[in-house]
């Protein structure tokens, strides 16, 4: 793997011990991936932020690296952590856990990484340009950046993302290359996919199908159109999040919708051998809906909600009060804007809470005594049973709001 003179100097320690460690990690990963060179990146998103996931050893790793003195040389920001930094006591998080979580955030801040604490940086002012190389880590953010924005990023691990932040580079391979962005499978959809849960169920099924394709799955999806605004962005991010969860998909093309499919559709489809069809969403709904009993928490905003999502949820509530807690995960930036315009207060009047800095997948939900959740997120419904041993009701946003208002899932015996 070729290094430039500047990259060699970084590796040799001439820019500091922390940067040398970073370049060593990237050089090794690049050689493993058969990359020929590095590529400069415009921004970095760092995962591995929740103390629940990284624990004491992960925290020590970050603090040791921060002590070496180097800081990010490109804009860099954190994925969600394990607790809302402002509302943690009201939501039931323990002081001991929050203290550890704050140590993780402090170590990353010492490395020059901003505490955005969101999986939707594109809702908070960080939107890569078409064709721009970035180094993002959270699976749904990677999918959105590649697929919807047309930027270029592989899914970075926590250490490699930090390394990219400290050097401004990442190895050039796979989704950073033209070849790596070609479809491996054409998927023809023959059923209606209007809602957020619908597209999540579809994404779950597509992810499972393309996970068997060589060199990772890149689906080219035909026969389905994304809805118009304001639900369009939410639909697209839900699609990517579901495929990333079930099939590690970092890039998808939708015919006539996503930018590369619109610009190069005929070229992308040419020569693709693997083909499959989706005639029903029943498989996805059956696999993702495991709920039973009363609903203890309704959790929306996975990936993190936009302002438009908050407005839509408020409209579905239509002034009704909730019986079961309703948490809507969003970035601090989105919550602050919602507070400023009175949207957050209207949601609170119905009993709903905008929860920032964390999400249901990386928070210590079991420690809060929760066992049965409801969500419209296929990603959350995929991970919660295995990560938290949770029962999960999965369905439309409307069904979730109804569950929050009544305390039971529509049509269930709970």
DSSP for 336-402, written as a single string: HHHHHTTHHHHHHHTTEEEEESB-TTTS-GGGGT--EEEES-HHHHHHHHHHH--EEEE--HHHHHH
According to CATH, the superfamily of the domain at 5-176 is: Aconitase, domain 3 (3.30.499.10)
Whole-number pLDDT of residue 212: 81
pLDDT for the residue numbered 36: 97
The pLDDT of residue 157 is 95
Q: What whole-number distance in Å separates Cα of residue 110 and Cα of residue 125?
A: 22
The pair of structure tokens assigned to 299 is: 């959790």
Work out the pLDDT band at 355, boundaries 50, 70, 90: very high
Please give the share of the chain, as a percent, with pLDDT higher than 70. 99
What pLDDT score was predicted for residue 140? Answer: 97
Average pLDDT, the chain: 96
The model's confidence at residue 213, banded by pLDDT at 50, 70 and 90, is confident
What's the average model confidence in pLDDT over 346-370? Answer: 95
pLDDT (0 to 100) of residue 387? 82
d(CA 164, CA 187): 34
Q: Pairing relation of β-strands 352-356 and 326-330?
A: parallel
Q: How far, in Å, CA of 27 to CA of 24, rounded? A: 5
Q: Which residue ranges does the chain devote to CATH 3.30.499.10? A: 5-176, 289-406
- Residue 185 is inside which H or E element, if any? strand 185-189
- Taking only the tens place, the pLDDT of each residue in 214-229 is 667 999 999 999 999 8
> Is the per-residue pLDDT at 385 higher than 80?
yes
Domain range 182-285, its CATH number among 1.25.10, 3.30.750, 3.30.1040, 1.10.3470 = 3.30.750
**Residue 63, burial from CB neighbour count under 10 angstroms (0-12, 13-18, 19+):** middle
Of the ranges 50-59, 283-292, 383-392, which one carries the lowest mean pLDDT score? Answer: 383-392
Please check the confidence at residue 241 and state whether its pLDDT lies above 70.
Answer: yes
- Residue 216 pLDDT: 74
* pLDDT value, residue 389: 87
For residue 261, what pLDDT is reported? 96
Predicted confidence (pLDDT) at residue 340 exceeds the cutoff of 70 = yes
pLDDT band at residue 37 using 50, 70 and 90 as cut-offs:
very high
Tokens of residue 135, six digits: 């180094």
Six-digit token string for 193: 């996919």
**pLDDT of the residue at 265:** 87
Strands 352-356 and 169-171, sheet pairing: unpaired
Q: For the chain, give percent helix, strand, coil, nearest 5.
A: 45, 15, 40
Considering the chain, tell me which residue range(s) the CATH 3.30.750 domain(s) occupy.
182-285
**Whether pLDDT at 47 is above 70:** yes
Nearest-angstrom CA–CA distance, 137 and 338? 27
CATH superfamily of 289-406: Aconitase, domain 3 (3.30.499.10)
């Amino acid at each position: 793997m070729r290094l430039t003179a500047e990259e060699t100097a970084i590796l040799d320690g001439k820019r500091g011990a922390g940067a040398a460690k970073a370049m060593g990690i990237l050089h090794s990963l690049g050689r493993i991936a058969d990359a020929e060179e590095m590529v400069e990146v415009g921004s970095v998103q760092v995962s591995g932020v929740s103390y629940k996931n990284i624990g004491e050893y992960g925290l020590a790793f970050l603090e040791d690296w921060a002590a070496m003195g180097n800081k990010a040389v490109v804009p860099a920001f954190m994925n969600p952590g394990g607790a809302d930094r402002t509302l943690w006591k009201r939501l039931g998080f323990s002081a001991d856990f929050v203290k550890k979580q704050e140590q993780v955030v402090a170590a990353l801040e010492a490395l020059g990484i901003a505490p955005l604490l969101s999986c939707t940086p594109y809702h908070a002012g960080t939107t890569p340009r078409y064709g721009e190389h970035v180094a993002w880590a959270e699976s749904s953010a990677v999918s959105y950046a590649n697929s919807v924005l047309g930027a270029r990023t592989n899914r970075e691990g926590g250490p490699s993302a930090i390394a990219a932040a400290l050097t401004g580079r990442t190895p050039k391979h796979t989704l950073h290359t033209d070849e790596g962005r070609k479809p491996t499978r054409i998927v023809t959809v023959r059923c209606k996919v209007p809602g957020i849960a619908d597209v999540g169920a579809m994404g779950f099924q597509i992810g499972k199908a393309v996970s068997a394709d060589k060199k990772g799955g890149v689906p080219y999806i035909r026969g389905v159109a994304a809805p118009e605004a304001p639900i369009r962005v939410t639909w697209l991010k839900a699609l990517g999040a579901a495929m990333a969860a079930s099939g590690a998909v970092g890039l998808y093309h939708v015919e006539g919708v996503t930018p590369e499919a619109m610009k190069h559709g005929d070229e992308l489809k040419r020569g693709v051998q693997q083909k499959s069809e989706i005639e029903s969403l029943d498989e996805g709904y059956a696999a993702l809906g495991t709920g039973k009993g009363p609903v203890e928490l309704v959790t929306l905003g996975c990936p993190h909600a936009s302002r438009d999502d908050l407005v839509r949820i408020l409209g579905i509530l239509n002034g009704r009060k909730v019986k079961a807690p309703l948490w809507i995960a969003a970035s601090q930036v989105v919550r602050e804007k919602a507070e400023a315009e009175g949207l957050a207060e209207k949601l609170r009047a119905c009993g709903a809470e905008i929860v920032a800095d964390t999400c249901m997948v990386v928070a210590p939900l079991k420690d809060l005594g929760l066992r049965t959740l409801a969500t419209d997120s296929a990603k959350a419904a995929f991970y919660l049973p295995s990560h938290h041993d949770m029962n999960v009701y999965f369905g439309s946003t409307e069904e979730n709001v109804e569950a929050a208002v009544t305390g039971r899932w529509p049509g269930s015996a709970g």
